[in-house]
Structure 1
């Protein structure tokens, strides 16, 4: 009877798994009663049913190490100083491994996360800060971390006396050094609360060259501990990341369903989840269900080779008094 429920490629119903009747009268076999053996073909089929921004092209490929997902971004080289004359390119991000035993939902969510992080990678490079007569991209992800760990020396931040400059002037001075995707930022309101936190409203003025729809006609509402360049720049960047993530939430869909859109009623999601789990398992299937879950858990345990990293792990195991099954 369970085989009458339509399945995706790579899915198989556990032996003797129950069918579940939802409140609307429809029957289903929830994902926790399925086993998975995804292939390149099944992953490609899932990607075909995913829609977002056509500038973010999702690829699936396979190497000896397994299947992976990779996002290609249609755009200009962010480090090309002559953007108007440069041609569009397909710029590739990192590879996201897809294990065959992942559930179909997890693979869709991997694509979702890959798009989010590809977009974040891009917008971090679009934040430009003028320091010492030089334009920099301090939030880009290509900065040499081992070099920073070895040579970074914190400098004491210069704090301007409030008698010398007004808070709005202090903010405007910082904002004048920022260029975000060709857009300019201006202060529209500044207020210090009794708890000494600053509430700052910043308007974003987009240029015609801007490629980010989420910042059009946007005002940033920040809460800051202080008005230093470091605090202000980090808060602005974090807000741009939040807006980027929200854009993906609102426009990422699978078969036309916008699962991560904040307008999707969280109570309805909770209800559907409850319906898929609210039933008793027959004894003969409960054993099979437990066995299958253990097999999946065991497959996720990474092999550990002797060496410095293993010794570090051993110290953590002792610290938390963990069971050493995984080692």
Structure 2
């Protein structure tokens, strides 16, 4: 799939759901290729064109990517194939598929942004699972909880917010005291080990931890095998149990995000990998976004500006509820100072 072959090319090919705007200029790339930059394209995606995009995305068979449509329009959805998180005591439990949230796709969304929507959906689907895989022993040691999971009753918690007031103070952390806390935690049933500890003069604490590999039977069943056996450093702002727990979760999510960045590919290209030269990405951006004035006449500029304005206007929400207008009134008190398209019906 080459989304940037233009009508001037011998292939005369434009991908499904895309069309070149009238008077769209071509630019020459350092490798000798020519292209029409994406901001001179228009888009009219449908189910078939979105599927053609997904067909060129590679990540993992454990995370099938779906596109579908309902009464509200097109959407992308990530499936997660794995074992049930809440039946950890049964290592032989069968695989199960669950589905993440629906990510809406507007027909005029650029192809590149659809790809990035899938990228973000994968990150968030994995984060959701990781939050359920970190368990904490109860105070009496008889049960375990998943305090980071996304299914707590937030309205009820808000009603009972006094239950969650933090009273702990900073502690004098040692490797032994941290390990004692880590012994009450599990990540996907495996233990977490404190390897080293450094107190910085600015008050921060560096804690080196290892996400240990489980036993051989367990290794076959763990869902995030790429995160096991990793040694990493937690950066704590203060010496407190709460800070340590949050830093642990932040680090697991960060490790997962980096894994997606490295292995998520479109047409075999892992665009978000940090192995690419960021300066060269900057030069590519300059080359495709700063168009010489002689490349585009006044009529062409006007047509492209009108097209971009119509896209921006189409994204303005239609406000029908009076209570919503009242809730948002403060944001739009000085309407004359706001450029762009105001919400419809406001």
In the superposition, the TM-score normalised over structure 2's length comes to: 0.89
Equivalent position to 1:157, from 157, 163, 167: 167
Q: Which moved more, 1:127-136 or 1:306-315?
A: 306-315
Tell me whether 1:322 sits opposite 2:331 in the alignment. Answer: no
Aligned to 2:8: 4
The SS at the match of 1:172 is helix
Tell me whether 1:297 sits opposite 2:297 in the alignment. Answer: no
Aligned to 1:275: 287
Aligned to 2:150: 141
In the TM superposition, what is the alpha-carbon distance from 1:203 to its structure 2 partner? 1.5
Aligned to 1:251: 263
Structure 2 residue runs of 5 or longer lacking an equivalent are: none
Structure 1 residue runs of 5 or longer lacking an equivalent are: none
The SS at the match of 1:70 is strand
The SS at the match of 1:85 is coil
The SS at the match of 1:237 is helix
| Residues 13-38 of structure 1, C-alpha deviations (whole Å, 9 max, x = no match) | 11121122222221111111110000
Q: Which moved more, 1:268-277 or 1:141-150?
A: 268-277
The SS at the match of 1:276 is helix
In the TM superposition, what is the alpha-carbon distance from 1:161 to its structure 2 partner? 6.4
Tell me whether 1:262 sits opposite 2:274 in the alignment. Answer: yes
Tell me whether 1:217 sits opposite 2:233 in the alignment. Answer: no
Q: Which moved more, 1:234-243 or 1:201-210?
A: 201-210
Aligned to 1:74: 81
- What RMSD, in angstroms, separates the aligned Cα atoms of the two structures? 1.9
Structure-2 change in CA distance of 1:37 and 1:131 (3 Å): same
Equivalent position to 1:105, from 106, 112, 118: 112
| Residues 32-89 of structure 1, C-alpha deviations (whole Å, 9 max, x = no match) | 1110000100000110100001100000111121111111111011012444231101
Equivalent position to 1:94, from 101, 110, 128: 101
Residues paired across the two proteins, number: 324
CA distance in structure 2 between the partners assigned to 1:54 and 1:306 by the alignment: 43
In the TM superposition, what is the alpha-carbon distance from 1:173 to its structure 2 partner? 1.7
| Residues 207-228 of structure 1, C-alpha deviations (whole Å, 9 max, x = no match) | 2132213323211212213332
CA distance in structure 1 between the partners assigned to 2:169 and 2:328 by the alignment: 43
CA distance in structure 1 between the partners assigned to 2:244 and 2:211 by the alignment: 15
CA distance in structure 2 between the partners assigned to 1:160 and 1:7 by the alignment: 61
Structure-2 change in CA distance of 1:288 and 1:183 (3 Å): same
CA distance in structure 2 between the partners assigned to 1:136 and 1:158 by the alignment: 20
Structure-2 change in CA distance of 1:71 and 1:201 (3 Å): same
In the TM superposition, what is the alpha-carbon distance from 1:282 to its structure 2 partner? 1.2
CA distance in structure 2 between the partners assigned to 1:243 and 1:179 by the alignment: 17
8 Å contact from structure 1 (residues 15, 285) kept in 2 = yes
In the superposition, the TM-score normalised over structure 1's length comes to: 0.94
